[in-house]
Amino acid sequence: MKLLLCLALLLPSVAPAGGLAWEKTEIAIESLEGGGKVPGELRFTNTSGQNIRLRAVPASCGCIAAKPEKRDYAPGESGVIPFTYTPKRKWGTRAYRVFVVTDEPGHPYELRLIVTETRR
């Protein structure tokens, strides 16, 4: 036990590097038959100590189009990625993914859109 405590004291502590903190990682949207495109927003804050550049925002379906307001965000700066969902006329609830690729190391951020299409 003493050995583990000594090792813990010798190892450097690593604080989280931060990154983009999302207001929501899952967003529910509804589409009524004949209602047209549905807008939405992905809101975030750069919680890291360095600038973060958004490189791309691909989605798992061509029915979702997302484009950042801008590409570069300073530490502490908040941002919005507007998106639109084009209804597919497939009634019911489905889940889609939006990926936010940045210049940070590692994998992209993955956000979920839960879409419910309803007939009138």
Q: What is the pLDDT of residues 89-104, one digit of tens each?
A: 888 999 999 999 999 9
User: Domain segments of the chain: what residues?
Assistant: 16-118
pTM metric for this prediction: 0.80
pLDDT of residue 80: 97
Tokens encoding 34: 């004949």
User: What is the pLDDT confidence band of residue 17, given thresholds at 50, 70 and 90?
Assistant: low
Q: What is the pLDDT of residues 51-91, one digit of tens each?
A: 999 999 999 999 999 999 899 999 999 999 999 999 988 88
What order do you get walking across the sheet with 72-73 strand by strand? Answer: 26-32, 109-118, 92-102, 52-56, 72-73
Q: Looking at domain 16-118, which of 3.50.50.60, 3.20.20.70, 2.60.40.10, 3.90.1820.10 is its CATH number?
A: 2.60.40.10
